[in-house]
Amino acid sequence: MSIGKNIKHDSSLAHVTGESIFIDDREALASEVFVGVVGSPVACGTLKKIYSQKALEYPTCLAVYTAKDLVVKKWGAIVHDQPLLVEEEIGYIGEPICIFACSNRYDLEEIKKLFTFDILAKEGVFTLEEALKKNNLLYAAPKPFVQGDIKKGFEESEYILEGSFYSGGQEHFYMESQASVAYPMENGQIEVHSSSQHPSETQRLVAEALGLSFQQVVCIVKRLGGGFGGKESQAAPIAVYAALVASKFNRAARLILTKDEDMKITGKRHPFYSEYKVGFSNEGLINALKVKLNADAGAYLDLSSSILERAMFHADGAYYLQNVHIEGRAFKTNNASNTAYRGFGGPQGNMVVESILEDIALFLKKDSFDIRRLNIYQNKNTKTPYGQDLENNMLPALFDKVLISSDYKKRLTQIEHWNNKKYGSLKGISITAVKFGIAFTARFLNQGSALVNLHLDGSLQVSTGAIEMGQGINTKLGQIVAHCFGVSCDVVQVMTTSTEKNHNTSPTAASSGSDINGAAALQASNQIKARLTKLAQLIFKNEISDDLNEFELGDSNLSGDIVFVDGQVKEISSGKKLSLKELIQMAYFNRVSLGGYSFYKTPEVGFSKETVEGKAFNYYTQGVAVSEVIVDEYTGEVKVTGTDILMDLGRPLNPGIDKGQTTGAFIQGMGWVTTEKLVYDNKGNLLTHSPTTYKIPNIQDTPRTFNVDFICNEDNQCNVHRSKAVGEPPFLLGISVWTAIKHALSFRNIKNINSELTSPATNETVLVELMRLKGV
């Protein structure tokens, strides 16, 4: 039995020993050329001319290519509005204008300095505040999410608070930068190895840009050195640049961005400026809530419309809103086009309601836990603002259990006592929750396929469209297939993802990788297993002679009387058995197929944003986190002294991997709301474009006490083996650190004024807010 066990990550040993192969680990061919990308020196303007003569005079510079060398010149995940290479209008600093081929990779940086441009510079828009003032609207959600009577709700509210706050962007900071190697093949074909979460999109864009048919391009992805959404759409142009050079020279071409280049060129998490008005009772029950979500899309649309809509889907958080109005808009700025990032807008939406609940608690001078417990989805109040019922609701159980397991009330009393003594440091504690919808909100993406091959020695190969980017999806797929055939995971090999084996695949994103590809792999395995089951029944009934006469299996279905376990195939009713290898041999000699291909589509999902109707999500992953912080009143430094996380993951496929995903997502979310600040100058230059200037959490930033547990939930029947997705939901729980900081600062709110804490709550931000609250 492989399901529910802590099977080690299939690449764990190779990662530790350095044997794992990433794109730039591929051995360079003697004839290989290297590709450099030259970006715009200004953020906004019109490109008049490219001066590349000095670059071409450099001994190792072989050629320069511009937009004129591309057949299709624009791309985009939803709308094709972004230039692959700038033709005329420039959208942001670092936007690729041209590429060049070089015979020595160590000369790339020197050659880049030799390009100059004739550009008519224009005034850019660099902040969301500017974009709002100028109404630089790029996209607006077709309809708001409305439930109940918002006007009546406000009229019946005892108190009303209005406010706004800013949540910043975030760099993906994957360990492996954007990378691609392209190989020219026979008959004009191109084989592209890409660090991409979406091989099918990479295949399509390469084909279109080079004027090829899709069947002439194969995209292969072994693994990624991290993705987090940053390689969902934005890996494809990088592959195009490498493929263009490879096709021109008929030689292998390699493009590996440096960390600085990657951070300047690629988009980030969307910054949001959120405005709200909330009406509530003396007990803290929300009667009415109106929210405006404003997103910084950057220079182009990319995935901003879908990200904005997911923010709207999660603006209710884990809380029932009887009367609610949620609307969203995305604005154009002259920053790199923002893109998918773990949570896909969900964190920005969820943060609004968690901030509001913390403010209500401070206003009423009540415990924020009690305010949240009062407002969560419970009893018959399960209708979301977009009309979907919250089924399999575990929120009440999660809140009640974590209250006890975290010793919350005792710690709160101790914190109040500590802060009243004025030691020069403040402590705070807060709980936040997540109710994360699992499915792509674009219905057509909820599909996947799998190819399973069972070999004569009893080993298996599994191919899907899933991408292994460190999250352990290959291990889970191996467990699913091994469990189906009753064999050890050691005999299951999950193969390199390739568009020639699994076509028209969806990106590994939206926390749906294991769900979609795991279900497809299980279906493909069951096809083979059904044939073997019928064959085993015939063998046990002695209906197949030793001379292996030709026979037809007829209808083949799984049978509860035939079980596959520990490498054996057993008939329970008769007690007869034979080894799986023996059965496989019998199948082969009787010409029974030992391969299975399956297509899976998530049933029933489908939501119309124009009518605000339908089922947006297949199910919800839920969880809570209690975080405690200590704030230095003199420096604003924040330390997380403790975090307790409790998640509902259904019946986990691999508890160890899921725990790793939970802790990793939380730390990444914590970084977003505390240390990870993007800083630009007044011309649009990103100043925090390296590990020395951009601070992700390190080991010293992790909670001193860090407890993670899963609640028992066997009732989630709408996913493979009753499991639930884990990739994105815990990220949102990092918000508990930010609300704990708000709680800590409230003890110095001498003037009794509204909190204006923004995110990320860096040391400087905390110190400024603390001084403001003190009236200094």
Q: β-pairing, 492-494 with 137-140?
A: unpaired
Q: Give the CA distances from residue 540 to residues 98, 104, 530, in Å, rounded to whole numbers and listed in that order.
A: 68, 66, 15
pLDDT of residue 548: 46
* Alpha carbon distance 234, 561 (integer Å): 50
Name the catalytic one among 32, 208, 728, 769.
728
DSSP state at residue 365: T
Instruction: Please compute, for residue 720, the number of CA atoms within 13 A of its CA located in the half-sphere on the CB side.
Output: 28
pLDDT digits (tens, 9 = 90+) for 486-530: 999 999 999 999 999 999 999 999 999 999 999 999 999 999 999
The predicted model gives 420-437 an average pLDDT of 94
- The answer on pLDDT for 742 being more than 50 is yes
The neighbour count for residue 54, using CB atoms within 10 Å, is: 13
The predicted model gives 249-270 an average pLDDT of 98
* Alpha carbon distance 142, 609 (integer Å): 7
- The answer on pLDDT for 353 being more than 70 is yes
The neighbour count for residue 53, using CB atoms within 10 Å, is: 11
Q: How many residues can be counted in the chain?
A: 776
- The answer on pLDDT for 198 being more than 80 is yes
Q: DSSP H helical segments within 128-281, as ranges?
A: 128-133, 150-155, 199-210, 236-249, 259-265
- The answer on pLDDT for 664 being more than 90 is yes
Which helix (H) or strand (E) segment holds residue 537: the answer is helix 513-540
- The answer on pLDDT for 1 being more than 80 is no
Side chain identity at residue 448, one-letter code: G
- The answer on pLDDT for 542 being more than 90 is no
The predicted model gives 88-95 an average pLDDT of 98
Q: Does the reported pTM lie above 0.85?
A: yes
- The answer on pLDDT for 378 being more than 90 is yes
* Alpha carbon distance 51, 114 (integer Å): 9
- The answer on pLDDT for 549 being more than 70 is no
The neighbour count for residue 562, using CB atoms within 10 Å, is: 22
- The answer on pLDDT for 745 being more than 60 is yes
pLDDT of residue 551: 58
The predicted model gives 119-126 an average pLDDT of 98
DSSP state at residue 28: P
Report residue 194 as tokens.
């890409």
The predicted model gives 545-572 an average pLDDT of 79
Q: β-pairing, 705-710 with 96-102?
A: unpaired
* Mean pLDDT for all residues in the chain: 96
Task: Residue 602: name the closest of 476, 469, 462, 448 by CA.
Answer: 448
* Alpha carbon distance 236, 259 (integer Å): 18
3-state secondary structure 77-131: CCCCCEECCCCCEECCCCCEEEEEEECCHHHHHHHHCCCEEEEEECCCCCCHHHH
Residue 667 phi, psi (nearest 5)? -65, -40
pLDDT of residue 697: 97
pLDDT of residue 550: 54
* Alpha carbon distance 522, 69 (integer Å): 45
The neighbour count for residue 570, using CB atoms within 10 Å, is: 19
Report residue 508 as tokens.
């590994």
pLDDT of residue 94: 98
Burial state string for 341-375 with b = 16 or more CB within 10 A and e = fewer than 16 = bbbbbbbbbbbbbbbbbbbbbbbbeebbbebbbbb
- The answer on pLDDT for 446 being more than 70 is yes
Which helix (H) or strand (E) segment holds residue 543: the answer is none
pLDDT of residue 421: 87
- The answer on pLDDT for 211 being more than 70 is yes
728 catalytic? Reply is: yes
Side chain identity at residue 381, one-letter code: N
* Alpha carbon distance 776, 771 (integer Å): 5
Q: What angle do CA 310, 621, 480 make, to 5 degrees?
A: 115
Percent of the chain with pLDDT over 70: 99
Which helix (H) or strand (E) segment holds residue 488: the answer is none
pLDDT of residue 552: 64
- Please tell me the least confidently modeled range out of 155-159, 218-222, 548-552: 548-552
pLDDT of residue 545: 58
